[in-house]
Structure 1
C-alpha cells in the first residue's frame, strides 16, 4: 500500500515484497516536485516485485516524461527492475564509483568469489548449494543498462536540491540522497534501523569496514531531520542509530578477536560459525547456504580489519587460510568508550 511519508516535498513509500528473503521488503521512495518525479530503487526482477512496484507507481500517476530513477547501489534487490524504466525512456542515475565497479564486477566470473571463499574454508558442497539459491544472481537485471553517473556531492537535475553523497562500505560505491534544505536523508542500505547492514568483502576493496565507518561519520556530520531507509521501518533518531552501528562493529571486532584467540589456527568459516548471528533464531548448522555466505563475507571484513591493524596474523595451510592472534597481551577492546578507534577518541 502506497503511503505518503513526508509533505513538502511530497514523498511516498511503496513497499515492494522480497519473497523468501530475510530482508522482507524494499522501501521504494518517490519524491514529487512540480516538474519531476524521482524514484529511488526498484526491487528484484521477479513478478511479485514488479507487480507491487508498478501498482504503486500507477497509483501515484507516474509519467515517464517527467520521471527519473536513482539506484542507491548495485545489489539486485535495488536494481533488478531497472530495465522497466529504461524501456519507458526514463533516465537512470547511479554513483559514478558504483557504476564503474558494477561494470567491472559483471565482467568477472562469479567463480572467482567461490575460489576466495573456498580458501577461507567454505565447504564445496555448500558453495554449490549457495550458487543454486542465490537470489542476487537469479533475479539480477541483464547487464548493459545505461547510467548517468553522479559524483559525490553532485545535485540531481531537479527543481529541488537533491544531492548524492558517496557512502562506501555496504558496497564500494553506495550513495545516499540528501536534501539539505529539508534535511532529509534517503539512506539506502547505508543506515538501517531494524537490522544491521551487511558489510562484506569485495574484489580489490580491502578496507570495506574502514570505509563503512568513515561513511557513517560523514553521515553523522549532516543535519538530519528524518532518515528514510531502504528496508524495514524508519527510526526516530538517526544519530543514535549511527552510534549504535559503530558500537556494533566495535563489539563484533571484540567477539571475532576472542573467537580467534579461543580457536587459534581456525579458518574464517570456522570463526564465523563460532560467533553470534541473528537469523530467525537458527543455529549455524541450520543456516541456509546463502546466509552462511553473507556471514562469512562479513566475518572476513572484520578479520581483514584486525589483520590490517596488526591484531591478527594469517597463513595458508592445506589450501585454507588460518588466523591467530598476532601478539599478547590480548586485544584491546574497541567497543564504545575511550578505547574505540571508530569514535576518534
Structure 2
C-alpha cells in the first residue's frame, strides 16, 4: 500500500486472467474517520485478503468502510463493490454508467449473434471470428443497482475532501473520473492509464465511442497539473504528459488509417487492420489484443467517415 497524499492511499489488488496483473484501488479517510474506496477490485477471495490486510495496517477493518465509489462497471473495478454493498456499504456510480449497464444487459441475449454478423462484415476469417466471439464475455454487465448515481461535476459528500465526478465517456459510455480539488488528484479509472492505451467502446450503445473518448481527453486539460492516479499501473506526478500522448497516439492512428484507405478504399476492416503498424506486430495479436485491434481500426474508420461526411 502506498501513501499518495494526506489521507489517500493506493492499493494494487490482483486480477485473475491474462490481462493486467493488478488493479489500483484507492482508499480515502474522511475527517469523520469514515473510509471510502474508489474502484475496490475484482472481488475474489484473495482480493478480500489483500484489502483486509491493507485496512488492518491503518488500524481499520471492512466495517469502517463508509462508501464505495466506482468509475465504471467492469469487474476488475466493480466486483468487490458488490460484496461491500451486500454488507450494507452504499455504492456510488456515474448515472450514465448505470444506463450503459442497462444497454449492455439488453444486448446480452443476442450479443454473440451480433458479433458473428459484425466480424463477417469486417471480413474476419470464420475460424478467427469463432475464437474471438467470447473474448470479452468477462465484461458482462452486472445486475447491480447503485445507491447513489452522480451527474457530471456533482460533488461527493466526503468530509475533508472536495471530490467531484467528471464524466469521461469512451472506455465505456458512462465512464467517470473523480477529481479531488484540494489535493489536486485525478482518479482516472481506465480513461487515462500510465503505460497502456485504454480500450474504447467496451460498454454502452454509443455509435462513436472513439470521438467521445477524444472529447473526454480534451475535457480533462484543466487538470493537467494534477497527479494522475490510474486504474492500472503506476501513478504519475501530472496528468498532462500522458493525456497529450494519448491524444497524439489516436490522431496519428487516424492519419495512418486515412492513408491506408486512400490507397484501397474498399478494403475490409480485417485487411485494413492487417496493414496498420501495431506496436507488437500484426502476427503477434491474438485474443483480446486482436479483438481490440479490429475494434480500434473500425472505430477510426467510422470517425474518419463521419468527419468527411
In structure 2, how many angstroms separate the alpha carbons of the residues matched to 1:215 and 1:257? 23
Residue 308 of structure 2 aligns to a residue whose secondary structure is: coil
Deviation at 1:133, TM superposition (A): 4.9
User: 2:91 — aligned with what?
Assistant: 92
In structure 1, how many angstroms separate the alpha carbons of the residues matched to 2:64 and 2:36? 12
Distance 1:19 1:284, change over 3 A: farther
Deviation at 1:164, TM superposition (A): 0.6
Deviation at 1:26, TM superposition (A): 0.8
User: 2:132 — aligned with what?
Assistant: 130
- Where do residues 1-345 of structure 1 align in structure 2 (5 Å cutoff)? 2-6=1-5, 8=6, 10-35=7-32, 36-60=34-58, 61-64=60-63, 66-109=65-108, 110-111=111-112, 112-134=114-136, 136-137=138-139, 142-159=142-159, 160-200=161-201, 204-222=205-223, 224-278=225-279, 281=280, 283-310=281-308
In structure 2, how many angstroms separate the alpha carbons of the residues matched to 1:277 and 1:171? 23
- Which structure has the highest helix share of the two? 2
Distance 1:127 1:85, change over 3 A: farther
Deviations 1:97-121 (A, max 9, x none): 0111112211212223443233222
In structure 2, how many angstroms separate the alpha carbons of the residues matched to 1:306 and 1:150? 33
Distance 1:133 1:197, change over 3 A: closer
Residue 157 of structure 2 aligns to a residue whose secondary structure is: coil
Question: What TM-score, normalized to structure 1?
Answer: 0.80
Mapped contact 1:200–1:294 kept (Cα < 8 A): no
Distance 1:129 1:223, change over 3 A: closer
Deviation at 1:219, TM superposition (A): 0.7
In structure 2, how many angstroms separate the alpha carbons of the residues matched to 1:126 and 1:46? 31
User: 1:339 — aligned with what?
Assistant: none
Question: What TM-score, normalized to structure 2?
Answer: 0.88
In structure 1, how many angstroms separate the alpha carbons of the residues matched to 2:173 and 2:181? 24
Alignment length (residue pairs): 303
Mapped contact 2:135–2:291 kept (Cα < 8 A): no
RMSD: 2.3
Gaps of 5+ in 1: 312-345
Deviations 1:108-162 (A, max 9, x none): 122234432332223333333234454624xx57413434201111111211221
